[in-house]
A and B are shown apart, each in its own frame.
Chain A
């Protein structure tokens, strides 16, 4: 009863759109015939699945999500553990590390246009000064890696924050007991601390993968879909199919495919987590 407003709201703004999604994905529709879609079977899905742009967007999103999640977790873990004594002593030092999380990713994308600009950007400027040369950061070959670095630098603090909290939550008695038993620092880390932090590491990696997989803002404001569509993530692919090409049916069919893939992903992750929990119990 108390949840009624919430449920109504969700049905209205998510349930209804989902139904519209399903109907339109099976229809022939243009901006002119928005209100009277003609059912046309699975044609839109065929269009999407035979579009090489869709597959390259899938590949981009998957690779981008995996790479950035891994990099963010590794760097975040290293920093959290190495800086932990410093951060415990001066807790205000956490604030500057968290600042990137407060800046809109879209803004960060725009800021990197400045940072990497060949005439007014400091990075090319210093590279020229030091090495007499500066690579192109945003051409077809390099844009992917530049974007990975941009994403990683912005979201490493998220992983760092989670890992620092988990590291702090390990009771000192556990560490002391291990040391009394003669564990070296390395053993303490690999046998005690990291296993205790494993659930947090899993969660952080999952969240960062999801956010990397569905990336839109910073990629879009920095390079758009990139040279030859080389940096189109799935989100950008769907956006451009809808707004630039007006291919509504195709855009929606792609949405449904992404929806089914994420749903499958969630179910599998939930199942794995449940199995882990049952095994632990």
Chain B
């Protein structure tokens, strides 16, 4: 009895939490004609016409450009955060360095509304010529990813016995050798988690994409919203739905493949942060 109730509650929760995604998915398989008479959750004549149109390059819509931008900025945002965070995390985990000031400052970054840095960064990028570039947006997404990367990596390195470093030191290994040859392979799972989680976070970011890009470096989150605003006379809902599904698919697939690790890092980030 209570078992059945659990399944029912679970089913309702999944339905309610994923409702916008389900509706969008359903709508993306409807023709414009069907949608106007049937906005419900079933499809009487499924069509892939919307997807064909989205995946065809036209003057109005080049989804590949948006996807490529998202892919590049999210990769920069995820990898640069790790490259910066890994040595620092090693220093923090293996010594007293940074525990007093650096760590709290970075972890608390999570609690600061990033919009307050957005305007000076906009002006700085204007001077540096980084506005509307993939590199510029990638650099800012690095900042977004840094707090969690640092926390996850410090925890992972602190879990390794320090005798490991000492043994390597006796064998004549320098700090960099220890870091890259001994520590790096051992914390590989944490590095992968940071990379995936950072990629998803950066892909899904919107505010900086909206402010710092206008044309050449527009990521798909912003591109999808342009599409809603620009189609004067009314939104083509089937087409818009297909754009959103295509844009939401990469992080969703990564996330579902790696949900255990991501859940773990969210929990760790929250509990230690």
Closest B residue to A102 by CB, please name it: B255
Contact A120 B39 (CB under 8 A): yes
Q: Which chain B residues numbered 77 to 132 have a C-beta less than 8 Å away from chain A?
A: 83-85, 87-88, 90-92, 97-98, 102, 104-106, 108-124, 126
One of A83, A114, A165, A239 near B24 (C-beta < 8 A): A114
> Looking at the complex, which one of B117, B235, B256 makes contact with A17 (CB distance below 8 Å)?
B117
87-127 of chain A: CB within 8 A of chain B: 91, 93-108, 110-115, 117, 119-122, 124-126
Docked Cα-Cα span, A243 to B115, in Å, equals 13
Closest Cβ–Cβ distance, residue A23 to chain B (whole Å): 9
What separation, in Å, do the CA atoms of A248 and B19 have in the docked complex? 39
Least CB distance from B173 to A in Å reads: 15
A residues 107-155 with Cβ under 8 Å of B? 107-108, 110-115, 117, 119-122, 124-126, 150, 153-154
Q: CA of A220 to CA of B143 in the docked complex: distance in angstroms?
A: 22
Chain B interface SS verdict (over half):
helix
**Chain A residues with CB below 8 A from B224, complex form:** 106-107, 110
Could you say which residues of chain B place their CB within 8 Å of the CB of A3? 87-88, 91-92, 97-98, 102
Task: Determine whether the beta carbon of B252 is less than 8 Å from that of A6.
Answer: no
Residues on A with beta carbons closer than 8 Å to the beta carbon of B106:
10
Q: Does A156 lie within 8 Å of B140, measured CB to CB?
A: no
Complex interface bits, A186-222 against B, C-beta within 8 A gives 1, otherwise 0? 0000000000000110011011001001101100110
Q: How far is the CA of A2 from the CA of B92 in the complex (A)?
A: 9
Q: Is the CB of A107 within 8 A of B244?
A: yes
Smallest Cβ distance from B130 to chain A, in angstroms? 11
User: Is B68's CB within 8 Å of the partner chain A?
Assistant: no
Q: A107-B221, A217-B206, A242-B119 are in contact. Are A9 and B259 (CB under 8 A)?
A: no
**A39 interface contact, C-beta 8 A:** no
Please determine whether A266 and B111 come into contact, CB atoms closer than 8 angstroms.
Answer: yes
Q: Which of B4-12, B56-64, B159-167 contacts A (4 or more CB under 8 A)?
A: B4-12
Bound CA span A86–B6, Å: 7
Q: Let me know if B35 is at the binding interface, CB within 8 A.
A: yes
Q: Which residue of A lies closest to B94 (CB)?
A: A2
A213 to B13, CA, bound (A): 25
Interface bracket on B: 35 or more
The listed residue (B85, B111, B118, B248) touching A104 by CB distance below 8 A is: B248
The 0/1 profile, CB within 8 Å of A marked 1, for residues 116-154 of chain B is: 111111111010000000000001101100100000000
Query: Number of A interface residues, CB 8 Å?
Result: 93
Which residues of A lie under 8 Å from residue B16 when comparing CB positions?
153
Q: Decide if B259 touches A98 in the complex (CB within 8 Å).
A: yes
Task: Write the nearest CB–CB distance from B107 to chain A, whole angstroms.
Answer: 10
| A5: Cβ under 8 A from any B Cβ | yes
Interchain CB contact under 8 A, B23 and A100? no
A227 at the interface (CB under 8 A from B): no
Q: Which residues of B contact A114 (CB under 8 A)?
A: 20, 23-24, 27, 237, 240-241
**Interface-lining segment among A43-51, A176-184, A257-265:** A257-265
User: CA–CA, A166 to B269, complex, Å?
Assistant: 14
B47 within 8 A of A: no
Report A's interface with B, CB cutoff 8 A.
1-3, 5-7, 9-10, 13-14, 16-18, 20-21, 24, 34, 79, 82-83, 85-86, 91, 93-108, 110-115, 117, 119-122, 124-126, 150, 153-154, 156-158, 161-162, 165, 199-200, 203-204, 206-207, 210, 213-214, 216-217, 220-221, 234-235, 238-239, 242-243, 248, 251-252, 255-256, 258-259, 262-263, 265-266, 270
* 24 A/B residue pairs, CB under 8 Å, sorted by A: A3-B88, A5-B87, A7-B88, A10-B105, A14-B117, A21-B120, A91-B260, A96-B18, A98-B255, A102-B252, A153-B20, A157-B17, A200-B270, A210-B111, A213-B113, A214-B114, A216-B206, A217-B207, A217-B221, A235-B207, A255-B119, A258-B116, A259-B112, A263-B112
